[in-house]
Amino acid sequence: MRSLKDRVVVVTGAGSGIGRALALGYAARGSKIVVADVQDDARTETVGLLEAGGTETLGVKVDVSDAASVEALADATIERFGEVHVVCNNAGVGGGGLIKDQQLVDWKWVIDVNLWGVIHGIQYFLPHLRAADEAHIMATASVAGLTATPGLGPYNASKFAVVGLMETLFHEMERDDEANVGVSVLCPGVVKTNIITAQRNRPAHLRRQRTGTVVNEDARRRNANVAAALAERGMDPAEVAECVIDASIERRFWVLSHPEHLVEIEQRNLALHQLANPALATSFTDGE
Ligand SMILES: NC(=O)c1ccc[n+]([C@@H]2O[C@H](COP(=O)([O-])OP(=O)(O)OC[C@H]3O[C@@H](n4cnc5c(N)ncnc54)[C@H](O)[C@@H]3O)[C@@H](O)[C@H]2O)c1
């Protein structure tokens, strides 16, 4: 993107964490912001912050896992601003636990939000982006989309899929002479956000069935403790947002805000190259 001034930027999950930081970061460059989030109080708070800074803002309640809801978000954006230039498919949820302890509702919730949310964003916004003079689309994956850490099965699966999806989109947009759409994927390490309490937005019909065993509760508690400790030491979301904004200006695909993880990504690729079994990432923690 040559300039972000007066551009229309849509951010999903803009009520909190990385999404809010993206909204504030693009606003600081003079963009108009669509704040999309499922959580009412969080969304309203971000809208308030932006409006207090004089940014032209539209708040929209959206559930990214629901196709009709994302279609309505695209319609509301066009109705208000007439065009859209940057889409940040950022909303996401996380949950821990070993694969043997997962219930189908765990898979469904995480895949619906983290993967289908991005698919819906591409489906309903890409036509508008292709129609713009220049545009950018990104998705927030994770280092968990490049290395597979035990205890994060659904999350890893969703983020690996998002990386593959965005990489494919990158190639297709590069080859498309009519489109002027840059593509990025953000793969952060640990960031100080509210993702540890992602269950707050889990729909009632996708909540876990009680199994009567203590195993799941125990694993969940251990994971939560570790996640809380890591989040304490996590990166400031504003720093992550700057990496994304720079990438959208420079049209860079990979956004690795935590380059220290490149070592384990390289180790994984090397093992693959040698057809060796996967080695455990050096930053691995199983919650002990
Ligand atoms: N925090 C980290 O350490 C970390 C690391 C790597 C990747 N990520 C990814 O970053 C993204 C943002 O997460 P975060 O860490 O800022 O967490 P967060 O919980 O602070 O923010 C996520 C936002 O998404 C919203 N949301 C949840 N479900 C939604 C839905 N169905 N529809 C619309 N909005 C929904 C929440 O209301 C919240 O405002 C996620 O995709 C997450 O997987 C986070």
Classify residue 189: in a domain, yes or no: yes
Is 283 buried (19+), middle (13-18) or exposed (0-12) by CB count in 10 A? middle
pLDDT at 215: 55
Classify residue 94: in a domain, yes or no: yes
pLDDT at 288: 33
Edge to edge, the sheet with strand 254-255 lists 57-61, 32-37, 8-12, 86-89, 135-140, 181-186, 254-255
Task: Please say if the pLDDT value at position 222 is more than 70.
Answer: no
Q: Residue 40: which CATH number?
A: 3.40.50.720
What's the pLDDT tens digit per position in 125-141? Answer: 999 999 999 999 999 99
Rg (CA), the chain: 19
Pick from 24, 38, 147 the residue to mutate for probing ligand 1's pocket: most ligand atoms within 8 Å of its CB: 38
Q: Number of structural domains, the chain?
A: 1
Using the mean position of ligand 1's atoms as its centre, give its distance from the Cα of residue 271 in Å: 31
Distance CA(109)–CA(212), nearest Å, equals 21
Distance CA(168)–CA(166), nearest Å, equals 5
Using the mean position of ligand 1's atoms as its centre, give its distance from the Cα of residue 90 in Å: 7
**Cβ of 15 below 6 Å from ligand 1:** yes
Cross-strand partners of 254:
185
Distance CA(179)–CA(276), nearest Å, equals 41
Classify residue 286: in a domain, yes or no: no
Classify residue 202: in a domain, yes or no: yes
* Residue of 109, 116, 124, 155 marked catalytic: 155
**Residue ID of nearest Cα to ligand 1 atom 8:** 142
Classify residue 218: in a domain, yes or no: yes
**pTM to 2 decimals?**
0.95
Q: Residue 185 — pLDDT band, cuts 50, 70, 90?
A: very high
Using the mean position of ligand 1's atoms as its centre, give its distance from the Cα of residue 152 in Å: 15
Using the mean position of ligand 1's atoms as its centre, give its distance from the Cα of residue 177 in Å: 33
Of 193, 235, 198, 244, nearest to 87 (Cα)?
A: 244
The boundaries of the domain holding residue 120 are 8-261
**Cβ of 63 below 6 Å from ligand 1:** yes
